């Protein structure tokens, strides 16, 4: 019906042809992240029967977002007239909600072509049965899904810690806005495709457990537990953090592979959670924890994109406001990630498995078995693509400060924001009635359609 490359290709084309230059990165020095929602519509059964062997499926980008920034908690405003979270995934989800509001308005005002049909309860609507939505992002979401085991030391985005100087690593990597150290990020992305290929080629039956060997060599006194390694029938002293990564590696078939380290995320554990161990190598992070997005020095209050995707996979992505009009939540049927460091198993852990214990959900809500796929196509304005486009590959690159929101709606489909405000907002304008009105996240996300819908 569709392939990951097809979905990625569709989104990249849409980005190139439908989005304006305003808000896109300057490819000489900037990069950005892209996310989108693709509607997949198969022909209703009756038509499909007439076209046996030629099942009609249409795919269409209905929402898109770009962006890399998230404001720190000191910049949040009580008036609510600033966008806190402008990561591409969140911008795309907001744009998608705007699309849903418009579609609901079409249905409620008895117009043709809506994705919704009347539900069985009065005043509620349901998605037509042959329509599904795929979520696309050009990169692995920040947070838990980005803590990916590495199989080779040369894949390490931050310099490996010398055993004699275990503090050096944290110095190299701490305080970065981005998931990995800036100097080493290029290296990470350069090796991204290699990483996946190398993993596929790893012989799992290798009886030498290099994970355990390396951990033994990095043994840090304290907090250790004696566990039996089932693969090697050897006992080793390991710490809690090491145990987690080992468990993860076992579950993902990486035991026996050369798991030397993990990719790192700049997303910090939420207050009250246990914190990362920040020890060298595989035990730098604890996995499966809730995290807040990285910010420059100033802690943010926005959850990582991994956590938000996990939430949408249980509660739907329509939000509480739209749920008043819907019989069932709207879920994504698949998540497709572009070419970048990626692990299917880690994505599964971050988005599905962390929520599988949730029970007592209201009727119609379930933890979804969302499909996870990776495309082999790279986003042209990703950090890696921009970096490799430079002759010496060493140009100083920065994340693009602007965020673009696009939605398949007839009125004002585009919004470009910067620092949480509409691009072009002056300092004087911030807080003015006009700015507040047009910059309300609710207005940016839903426009006047929400108000129309409430009037119906
Ligand atoms: Zn993110």
Q: Say what the pLDDT of residue 268 is.
A: 85
Please tell me the distance between residue 147's alpha carbon and the centre of ligand 1 in angstroms. 13
- CB of 93 within 8 A of CB of 64? no
**How far apart are the CA of 357 and the centre of ligand 1, in A?**
24
Pairwise CA distance, residues 70 & 295, whole Å? 7
Tens-place pLDDT, residues 182-225: 334 333 322 223 333 333 233 222 222 222 223 222 322 333 33
Residue-level pLDDT at 451: 55
Q: Would the pLDDT of 40 be above 90? A: yes
Please write the tens of the pLDDT for every residue from 319-349. 999 999 999 999 999 999 999 999 999 999 9
pLDDT tens-place string over residues 67-120: 999 988 888 888 888 899 999 999 999 999 999 999 999 999 999 999 999 999
Structure confidence at residue 238 as a pLDDT band (50, 70, 90):
very low
The Å distance, Cα 297 to ligand 1 centre, comes to 17
Ligand 1 centroid–CA 177 distance in Å is: 11
CA 228 – ligand 1 centroid, Å = 37
| Confidence grade of residue 14 (pLDDT, cut at 50, 70, 90) | very high
- Model pLDDT for residues 75-90, shown as the tens digit of each residue: 888 888 889 999 999 9
Measured in Å, residue 270 CA sits from the centre of ligand 1 at: 15
CA–CA distances in Å: residue 125 to residues 66, 106, 325, 454 = 30, 11, 6, 14
Question: How many Cβ atoms sit within 10 Å of the Cβ of residue 225?
Answer: 11
pLDDT band at 150 (very low <50, low <70, confident <90, very high): confident
pLDDT in tens, 369-405: 999 999 999 999 999 999 888 766 667 899 999 999 9
The residues carrying an active-site annotation are 89
pLDDT at site 177 = 33
Q: Confidence band (pLDDT; 50, 70, 90) for 278? A: confident
pLDDT on residue 81: 86
What span, in angstroms and rounded, lies between the C-alpha atoms of 275 and 296? Answer: 19
How far is residue 403's CA from residue 416's CA, in Å, rounded to a whole number? 6
């Amino acid at each position: 019906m569709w392939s990951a490359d097809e979905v990625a290709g569709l989104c990249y084309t849409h980005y190139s042809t439908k989005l304006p230059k305003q808000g896109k990165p300057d490819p000489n020095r900037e990069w950005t992240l892209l996310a989108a929602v693709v509607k997949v519509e198969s022909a209703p059964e009756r038509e499909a029967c007439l076209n046996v062997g030629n099942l009609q499926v249409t795919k269409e980008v209905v929402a898109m977002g770009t962006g890399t920034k998230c404001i720190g908690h000191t910049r949040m405003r009580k008036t609510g007239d600033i966008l806190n979270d402008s990561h591409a995934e969140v911008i795309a989800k907001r744009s998608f909600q705007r699309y849903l509001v418009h579609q609901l308005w079409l249905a409620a005002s008895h117009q043709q072509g809506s994705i919704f049909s009347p539900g069985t309860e009065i005043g509620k609507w349901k998605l037509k049965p042959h329509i599904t939505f795929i979520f696309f992002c050009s990169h692995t979401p920040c947070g838990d899904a980005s803590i990916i085991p590495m199989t080779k030391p040369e894949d390490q985005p931050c310099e490996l810690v010398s055993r004699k100087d275990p503090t050096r690593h944290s110095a190299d990597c701490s305080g970065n806005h981005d998931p990995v150290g800036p100097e080493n990020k290029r290296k990470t992305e350069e090796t991204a495709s290699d990483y996946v290929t190398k993993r596929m080629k790893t012989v799992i039956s290798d009886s030498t457990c290099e994970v355990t060997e390396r951990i033994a060599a990095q043994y840090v006194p304290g907090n250790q537990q004696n566990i039996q390694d089932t693969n090697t029938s050897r006992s080793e002293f390991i710490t809690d953090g090491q145990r987690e990564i080992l468990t993860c590696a076992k579950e993902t078939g990486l035991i026996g592979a050369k798991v030397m380290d993990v990719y790192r995320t700049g997303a910090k554990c939420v207050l009250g959670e246990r914190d990362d161990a920040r020890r060298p190598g595989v035990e730098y992070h604890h996995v499966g924890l809730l995290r807040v997005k990285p910010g420059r020095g100033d802690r943010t209050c926005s959850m990582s994109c991994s956590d938000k995707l996990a939430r949408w996979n249980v509660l739907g992505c329509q939000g509480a406001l739209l749920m008043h009009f819907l019989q069932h939540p709207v879920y994504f049927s698949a998540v497709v990630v572009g070419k970048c460091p990626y692990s299917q198993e880690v994505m599964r852990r971050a988005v599905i498995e962390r929520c599988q214990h949730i029970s007592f959900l209201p009727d119609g809500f379930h933890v979804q078995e969302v499909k996870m796929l990776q495309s082999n196509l790279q986003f042209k304005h990703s950090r890696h693509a921009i970096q490799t486009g430079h002759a010496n590959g060493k140009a100083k690159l920065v994340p693009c400060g602007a965020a673009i929101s696009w939605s398949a709606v007839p009125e004002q489909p585009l919004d470009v924001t910067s620092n949480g405000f509409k691009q072009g907002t002056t300092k004087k304008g911030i807080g003015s009635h006009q700015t507040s009105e047009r910059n309300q996240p609710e207005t940016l996300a839903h426009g006047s359609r929400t108000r129309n819908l409430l009037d119906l």
